[in-house]
Amino acid sequence: MSSLRPLTISIAAAAMSLSLACGGATPDGGQEAESPYAAHEVAPGEYDDYYGFSSGGHSGEVRIVGIPSMRVLKRIPVWNIDPGSGWGITNESKAMMGGKWVGDTHHVQGSYVDGTYDGKWLFVNDKANNRLARIRIDIFEVDATVEIPHTQGTHGVFPQRAPTTEWVILNSEFRTPLVNDGSGDMLDASTYGGVHTIVDAERMEVVAQVQTEVNLDLAATDYSGRYSFATSYNSEGGATISEMLASDLDYLVVFSWDNIKAALANNDYRTVDGVPILDGTEGTGLTAYIPVPKNPHGVNVSPDGNYAVVSGKVSPTASVIDITMLDDVFAGNIEPRDAVVAEPEIGLGPLHTTFDGRGNAYTSLFIDSQEVKWNIQRAIDLQANPQEGETAVVDRLDIHYQVGHTMASMAETNEADGRYLISLNKISKDRFLNVGPLKPENDQLIDISGESMVLLKDESAYIEPHDIILVRRDIIEPHVVDRVRLEEHPEAVTQSSITRDGNRVTVRLTATAPVFGLQEVEVNEGDEVTFIVTNTDEIPDLAHGFAISNYNIQMVVGPFQTKSVTFTADKPGVYWIYCTNFCHALHLEMRLRFIVRPRS
């Protein structure tokens, strides 16, 4: 539990005094209990202890949430159009979006060094259009994207944890033909497969893909840089729900990076659409197929690096795989199933597991609407030597309702600290004011510092934050800058000008409070016009907006930042260009005339 800061103590003390002075009584004459959140509240002027990086689901964005305040601090547009910042409107963002304005972000992950976050990058998938985006943490904006070929339902994504993040892996949840061009019998699902994609984190280019006969869902990597993991819930290869539920066992698929690197070095692959495709089917040596109870979903690696925990969403169990036994699995010394060292029964609908760094796991139970805390070593001991009436479960907490992902503070690193847990619940029902058929989601903050879990706070969330990671402030804050370097953009403007090349007009424009560098721009109807705008103000929070009346153009340019936009001047007349971001006492006067001469 976090310690109280002086201001918080003062507020708490004042509140207690006021409560006592005013009676503070319950209807039965007792004293009102203080909220458990009071000891964790972030008072005015104070900072949160953690950055929460949350996906935005089918909003296509990433959200930054302060923990424990649960305040949404920023919404980073990724696969969506955001007029507030100009994302999806500027030339720079359009190039990274590739003409697709719909996205479904599920998993946000950070880059690593030696098993913990390095504060350099965030990575996030697009399940709808099969892409990966990289976000610079220093400015919290997307700086690169890559399309993932031969996949549909690009779902699980995870970076290499050690020694540094050189690779990022992604899984294709939906089995499809590798060459999906309409040739062959498209109804024959037996010809479909999945791919495990390897992306170079620095270059943001596809390195290779490992083809499997099964679908590949959630992803994880180990702490040694030697293995990656994928759950597979449709080992039957079914195309209908009944076909997908036929078998009692599915798989955790383990990928050997040593063997993959050797195959790449030996050119042991075929090339499809310019991408090396490696054979990862069972028995090829690149993969190990570990049987686990049917329909596994999440796979998470314990902070000590010893265990991968898999949850079978239609089995009431979690499977504990001993990662130290994988060398023997790949060497053929033991059967893949031998690496499963525990399978405790924990409740109905287990989905995802997180950790406190003290040997305990926390698994979300979708059907039971619970978070369940259980001890990993206790589960292993009971598997080897069952004791009647004994269980690995330590505690249960009812949540509201139907939790999906769950994440504890720093739990995806070797520095898990066991302070907070976030339960990202899919249904809120009666928790908030009724806002119509589309209810808010409910993210709940839970204190896990003690033996029992304590629910601290509800926080509404717009549809649908899928997953979150909690990163200590001291890791992130030193990397965040107030402004970009002026020279980062190759066309940064220091002097305003207008140039014409045939019917192409380029306007280079400075923005310095409270004036734009030009007071008038004149073009002809039909001209292709490009505005390149640089904010030359040095004040950290002095952003300038740029909007053109009736031209569907709006963007915001931060200090020393440059953005550009290209459009056709197809409406003759006089149109005001104005600053949309309040920047100065003369903000309303910060504008210029855009004059479009009609065709003669």
Distance (Å, rounded) from C-alpha 307 to C-alpha 409? 18
Distance (Å, rounded) from C-alpha 588 to C-alpha 581? 10
Distance (Å, rounded) from C-alpha 546 to C-alpha 524? 21
Report yes or no: 227 and 164 within 8 Å, Cβ to Cβ.
no
Distance (Å, rounded) from C-alpha 571 to C-alpha 75? 33
Angle at 449 between CA 447 and CA 453, to 5 degrees: 50
Name residues whose C-beta falls within 8 Å of residue 321's C-beta, 6 or more positions apart in sequence.
Answer: 252, 290, 307, 308, 309, 310, 339, 340, 341
Provide the phi-psi class of 526: left if phi over 0, else alpha when psi is between -120 and 50, else beta. left
Angle at 353 between CA 348 and CA 357, to 5 degrees: 135
Please give the structure tokens belonging to residue 90.
């500027």
pLDDT means per 10 residues, the chain with 600 residues, are 37 39 48 83 96 95 98 97 95 96 96 98 97 98 97 96 98 93 88 95 98 96 98 89 88 98 98 97 96 95 98 93 98 98 97 98 97 98 96 97 96 98 92 91 97 97 92 98 94 97 98 97 98 95 96 97 98 97 92 95
Q: What number of helices (H) and strands (E) belong to the chain?
A: 7, 40
Q: What is the pLDDT of residue 2?
A: 38
For domain 486-597, the CATH superfamily is: Cupredoxins -  blue copper proteins (2.60.40.420)
What residues does CATH 2.130.10.10 cover in the chain? 50-180+188-479
Q: What is the pLDDT of residue 31?
A: 58
Distance (Å, rounded) from C-alpha 448 to C-alpha 455? 9
Full strand arrangement of the beta sheet holding 167-172: 154-159, 167-172, 194-200, 205-212, 275-279, 270-272
- Which residue do the tokens 């709940």 mark? 444
Burial tier of 408 (Cβ tally within 10 Å: 0-12, 13-18, 19+) = buried
Full strand arrangement of the beta sheet holding 141-147: 108-113, 116-126, 131-136, 141-147
Indicate the pTM of the whole model. 0.93
Domain 50-180+188-479: state its class: mainly beta
